Amino acid sequence: MSAARDETMPGGTTGGTPGILLAHHLKQLKLPTVLREYDKVARECAQSGIDHPRYLLRLVELELIDRERRLVERRIRAARFPAVKSLDTFDFAAIPSLNKMLVLELARCGYILGRENVIALGNSGTGKTHIALALGLAACQKGFSVTFMTAASLVNQLLEARDERRLLRLQRDLALVKLLIIDELGYVPLSAAGAELLFETFSQRYERGSTLVTSNLPFEDWTSVLGSERLTGALLDRLTHHVSILSMNGDSYRLKSSRVRRGRAGDRAEQNQATTNRHDPETGEITPV
């Protein structure tokens, strides 16, 4: 081999142990799964007489599967869910007012492509946040960007951004996200400035992205949170133009599961047994220990 060729070609390409250079190139190409798996898969393919194109195909497929998984994880982290919940752990029988078919349809995320909205209304403890989290998770899994915030926290962030003169940037970020979830509209009355900024957020997202709102208040009471009749009307006009409404009035699941706990404890006292139940606050599941 000539000296000139040595200067232009990476040394490892021409023989010896290519492992170090290969690792370097694969890192630069951002193919961590190929790097991790190539040796093992090579041995497997050699053993079963699989040719080079199929070996390469297998590696590339592994990289693609892993890349998709990493992207979903990144979207979930970016959404800042307070907890990760899915529809698998949701007991539809506990809330008969909720249209299960509609929820399953929403989990397919067609409404996000159509830039339509979702509103979940109902009293406290009926699973509104659970459903919002589950639909948010489904959206992350289907490839959409998601942001989850309580209404109070969103308004605080908007007011803070305005004071720090970075409101436009925050508003632009909020307008770009494919699904914005605003939880618990109605628990805290908003200041006039806060309500105005919340309205602007809805307005800027109108027909651009989907917004999912949960509230313990029926629409006619939203004025008590937003302060002004005019603003409430304009906000509802935008939010409900293309909307699916999830009606979630019913018994509080929290209360129900703690009643079950107390009930079981009572039974046990009667039977004079010294056992306790474990209550999973995430799923509401109660298991005797």
- The footprint of Mg ion (CB under 5 A) covers 129
Residue from 117, 129, 150, 171 in contact with ligand ADP (CB under 6 A): 129
Number of residues that bind ligand ADP (CB under 6 A): 18
Dist CA 170 CA 93 (whole Å): 40
The nearest distance, CB 273 to ligand ADP, in angstroms, is 27
Q: Which of 189, 247, 170, 245 is nearest to 212 (CA)?
A: 245
Q: How many residues comprise the chain?
A: 289
Which of residues 36, 115, 142, 254 is near ligand ADP by CB under 6 A?
254
Footprint of ligand ADP on 66-125 (CB under 6 A): 85, 89-91, 94-95, 124-125
Paired strand residues for 286: 279
Q: Are 223 and 189 in contact (CB under 8 A)?
A: no
Judged by beta carbon, residue 22 or residue 94, the one nearer ligand ADP is 94
In contact, 212 and 128? CB cutoff 8 Å: no
Residue 149 CA to residue 254 CA, distance in Å, equals: 21
Site for ligand ADP in 194-253 (CB under 6 A): 253
Q: Among all residues, whose Cβ is closest to Mg ion?
A: 129
Scanning residues 176 to 195, which ones bind ligand ADP (CB under 6 A)? Answer: none
CB nearer to ligand ADP: give 13 or 89. 89
Gap between the Cα atoms of 58 and 42, Å rounded: 10
Phi, psi of 198 (to 5 degrees): -65, -45
Give residues in contact with ligand ADP (CB under 6 A).
85, 89-91, 94-95, 124-130, 253-254, 281, 283-284
